[in-house]
Amino acid sequence: MSPLCQTHITAAQLNQMEPFYPLHTRVCEHCWLVQLPQFVAPADIFSEYAYFSSYADSWVEHARQYCESVCQRFGIDRDKRVIEIASNDGYLLKHFVSKGVPVLGVEPAANVAEVAIRNGIPSVVKFFGRDTAGSLAADFGRADLLIGNNVLAHVPDLNDFVAGLKLLLGSHGVITMEFPHLLELIRYNQFDTIYHEHFSYFSFLTVREVFRSRGLTLFDVERLATHGGSLRIYGCHAADQSRAISPRVGELLELEESFGLKRLDTYTVFAEQVRETKRALLEFLISVKRAGKRVVGYGAPGKGNTLLNYCGIGSDFIDFTVDRNPYKQGKFTPGSHIPILSPDQLAGSAADYILILPWNLKEEIVDTLRRVPDLHARFVVPIPKVEILG
């Protein structure tokens, strides 16, 4: 049982009832899609959202490099249209704007889209699907490049969403989408990336079939290091014969099958890995707290809240956590009710250990914290296994 991972709690809400929902993944024995049951409507999750992409410097740089790459590969210039689904605060589209490329962001969270608009990124506040795609195609035109980074997992109705992509894509346009790779999630024990806001967890073999069923061909795929291991897929209309199928498509399909993504025992073994991670992290925290050490956290990401709630870690173990996002500061983590402070509070905190909750950014975080005056803490990375960094 777990609360919604981005519903951070105000001080006034601490004594109120907080909704918890089952957090249990299911795998289909036919198409091998891994999904969560839908307990909450997307509008209740994403209409106001606490995640702002621009606070992760390495992620903004990742977006810049992507922009340079696709502009060169597909000839994206001032005469082309770029549309991003789930455009967040404009962290990616700003790189196209600087090149003079016409862009449009589609973002369901009004508070996040407002930041993008203030920064000069044209954005509409809408959930994406077939109906939205039709109106956008009429008002803005069909896209030469259609982008969706870390949005596919957030979609409860995959068929409607992918059908919308087909409607909005120009006849010779390209779709690129990024999402965490199920193979890496299992291989590296990344169970904390499972939360209610993520309805689906994708292998390439599954996502390829979803797109194929809606008349779209995935002609290339890249494996990325982001979020602990992601895929970037490249798609086009099935009728567009100008795109050659990359050898990487067949290679990845073969890798996934040999890894065991079409065998149920792969998933049951993973479940036991998760339980062992919980036991190891609690053993560590119990031992250092009994030794009189002070433990604080860094970050208040969605993945961190899955970890904290699954392991039963609250302020009895973690005095506070810090986050660069002012939207979260002054609130408490959902379920575990750990205070979220500004990173400025780390200096002079006398922390002995800092638990890094956004472990996918550990290099960036450790490099930053080692420059904080009077901070002599060691760093704890919980995933894929408990690791102590000096």
Q: How far apart are CA 45 and CA 71, in angstroms?
A: 33
Domains of the chain, each with CATH number or no CATH: 33-261 (3.40.50.150), 293-389 (3.40.50.720)
Largest alpha-carbon pair distance within the chain? 66
Give just the sign of the alpha carbon dihedral 48, 224, 362, 387. positive
For residue 265, the surrounding DSSP H or E stretch is: helix 264-290
Does 156 have pLDDT greater than 60? yes
pLDDT mean over 34-58: 69
Over residues 70-85, the pLDDT tens digits come to 999 999 999 999 999 9
Does 49 have pLDDT greater than 70? no
Q: Please state, in angstroms and as integers, the Cα–Cα distance from residue 185 to each residue in 11, 30, 228, 267, 271, following that order.
A: 34, 20, 8, 11, 12
Over residues 241-252, the pLDDT tens digits come to 999 999 999 999
- The 3-state secondary structure of 154-186, one letter per residue: HCCCHHHHHHHHHHHEEEEEEEEEEEEEHHHHH
Which residues, at least 6 apart from 32, have a Cβ–Cβ distance to it below 8 Å? 203, 205, 206, 261, 262
Check residue 46 and give its pLDDT. Answer: 59
Tokens of 248: 């990487």
Confidence of residue 45 (pLDDT cuts 50, 70, 90): low
Over residues 279-335, the pLDDT tens digits come to 999 999 999 999 999 999 999 998 999 999 999 999 999 999 999 988 899 999 999
Check residue 110 and give its pLDDT. Answer: 87
pLDDT mean over 350-363: 94
Q: How far apart are CA 148 and CA 15, in angstroms?
A: 38
Nearest to 15 by CA among 332, 340, 342, 306: 332
Q: Which amino acid appears at position 208 of this protein? A: R
pLDDT mean over 112-129: 92
**Bridging pattern class, strands 378-381 and 387-389:** antiparallel
Which residues, at least 6 apart from 286, have a Cβ–Cβ distance to it below 8 Å? none
pLDDT mean over 215-230: 94
Check residue 44 and give its pLDDT. Answer: 67
Over residues 182-210, the pLDDT tens digits come to 999 999 999 999 998 889 999 999 999 99
How many other C-beta atoms lie within 10 A of the C-beta of residue 141?
14
Confidence of residue 52 (pLDDT cuts 50, 70, 90): low
Q: How far apart are CA 380 and CA 353, in angstroms?
A: 7
Does 65 have pLDDT greater than 70? yes
Check residue 329 and give its pLDDT. Answer: 95
For residue 111, the surrounding DSSP H or E stretch is: helix 110-118
Check residue 17 and give its pLDDT. Answer: 94
Check residue 360 and give its pLDDT. Answer: 87
Check residue 327 and give its pLDDT. Answer: 87
Confidence of residue 51 (pLDDT cuts 50, 70, 90): low
Check residue 228 and give its pLDDT. Answer: 85
Does 382 have pLDDT greater than 70? yes
Please identify which residue in the block is written with the tokens 């779709």.
Answer: 175
The mean predicted confidence, pLDDT, of the chain is 93
% of the chain beyond a pLDDT of 90 = 82
For residue 208, the surrounding DSSP H or E stretch is: helix 204-212
Among 5-9, 91-95, 234-238, 293-297, the range scoring the smallest mean pLDDT is 5-9
For residue 130, the surrounding DSSP H or E stretch is: helix 130-139
Q: How far is CA 24 from the centre of its chain?
A: 18
Give the DSSP letter string of 332-377.
B-TTT--BEE-GGGGTT---SEEEES-GGGHHHHHHHHTTSTT---
Does 19 have pLDDT greater than 80? yes
**Bridging pattern class, strands 353-356 and 378-381:** parallel
Check residue 227 and give its pLDDT. Answer: 83
pLDDT mean over 136-159: 94
Helix (H, G, I), strand (E, B) or coil at 83: strand
Q: Looking at mean pLDDT, say which of 125-129, 171-175, 365-369 comes out highest.
A: 171-175
For residue 388, the surrounding DSSP H or E stretch is: strand 387-389
Does 53 have pLDDT greater than 90? no
Strand partners, 174: 145
